Chain A
Amino acid sequence: MRTKKDIRKKILNANEDYALENSRILSERKKLCLNMISSPGSGKTTILTRTISELKDKIKIGVIEGDIQTDLDAEKIRATKAPVVQINTNGACHLSASQVSSALKQLPIDNLDLIFIENVGNLVCPSAFELGETGKIAVLSVPEGDDKPAKYPAIFAKSKVLLINKIDLLKIGGQVDFNIERVKLDARKLNKGIEIFPISAKTGDGMTNWYDWLIKSVEDLKV
């Protein structure tokens, strides 16, 4: 005989329990926590090192670095003197909330205003795993092409902010086909409220708008 049983249970409930606990720890202490998600090579680490250095007198920033292997990125963050914890996923394509939970315990969070989580470089999988963050930041760089919001909708639909990085390459006439208006239109079709900042973490172009958003978000949490 065959019988059916109603279950109606969330499949990733173990991850979600950790995510809820992380979120509780962060919100009780009024800390902003941003989960950065992008393809490999879009410039997440460069954005972070520049942001940390230029905001060092205004916001205290700590970083959780996620990579499949090595602590190369953590080394770059360490050079800015910001506290950093490296997580190696050893093959897994995304960070999970339990890993972030143990990393948070290793960071001096009471002395910080903002914690960045640099997720494993991957435009798909990290978007499906809540970590307990305040919000997600999507990074798309010019050489990746302007069709990415249409082709990989999940991360653009879930993010608070889209950073369009490496806009300095747009000035190399004829070398790069990238329609910034198309990116904005496609991203807003998925997510009406998304903030979009075109930047170059290399030259510093557009970074002020991003900094203003960060400073305001940190202040809003404290009120």
Chain B
Amino acid sequence: MHETMIAESLLATISDEAAKQNAKPISAKISCGMLSAVNDEILCFAFQAVAKGTPCEGMRLKIEHKAKPDAPLLLEEIEFETE
């Protein structure tokens, strides 16, 4: 259930970056360790729900689980569609 707060925080960061780049975000890569207790399916579902009606709607999330248990929850990169 904490994935909703992670999704909201992620949406805010990606939206800021998209505004700066003036481009549409297509996908994002995220990494985390076991201690972040992130469930991929729930995070993707929560992200779609909070992104609805925003430029981030329909974005794909790739989640990489690092071997280091306390690896921080990071937004690694965003892929943009540019003109």
Q: Which residues of A contact B (CB under 8 A)?
A: 1-15, 92-94, 96, 122, 124-125, 127-129, 153-154, 157-158
With a CB–CB cut-off of 8 A, which chain A residues contact B26? 2
Known contacts A4-B77, A10-B74, A157-B34; 12 additional CB pairs below 8 A are A1-B81, A3-B23, A5-B80, A7-B75, A11-B6, A11-B13, A12-B5, A12-B6, A14-B12, A93-B1, A94-B2, A122-B1
With a CB–CB cut-off of 8 A, which chain A residues contact B21? 5
Residue contact A129 to B2, C-beta cutoff 8 Å:
yes
Residue contact A12 to B9, C-beta cutoff 8 Å:
yes
* CB nearest neighbor in B for A94: B2
With a CB–CB cut-off of 8 A, which chain A residues contact B78? 4-5, 7
> Can you show 29 pairs from A to B with CB atoms below 8 A apart?
A2-B82, A4-B78, A4-B80, A5-B79, A8-B74, A9-B13, A9-B74, A10-B73, A10-B74, A11-B13, A11-B73, A11-B74, A12-B5, A12-B9, A12-B73, A14-B12, A15-B5, A15-B9, A92-B1, A124-B37, A127-B35, A127-B37, A128-B2, A128-B35, A129-B5, A154-B34, A154-B35, A157-B34, A157-B35
Confirm or deny: B64 has a beta carbon within 8 angstroms of a beta carbon on chain A. no
Residue contact A11 to B30, C-beta cutoff 8 Å:
yes
* CB nearest neighbor in A for B18: A5
Q: Which residues of B contact A (CB under 8 A)?
A: 1-2, 5-6, 9-10, 12-13, 17, 21, 23, 26, 30, 34-38, 69-70, 72-83
Contact of A8 among B5, B35, B76 (CB under 8 A): B76
CA distance A183 to B12 in the complex (A): 40
With a CB–CB cut-off of 8 A, which chain A residues contact B80? 2-5
CB distance from A208 to the nearest CB of B (A): 31
Nearest 9 interchain pairs by C-beta: A125-B2, A93-B1, A11-B73, A154-B37, A7-B75, A154-B35, A4-B79, A9-B75, A128-B37
With a CB–CB cut-off of 8 A, which chain A residues contact B72? 10
Residue contact B81 to A11, C-beta cutoff 8 Å:
no
Residue contact B1 to A6, C-beta cutoff 8 Å:
no
* CB nearest neighbor in B for A92: B5
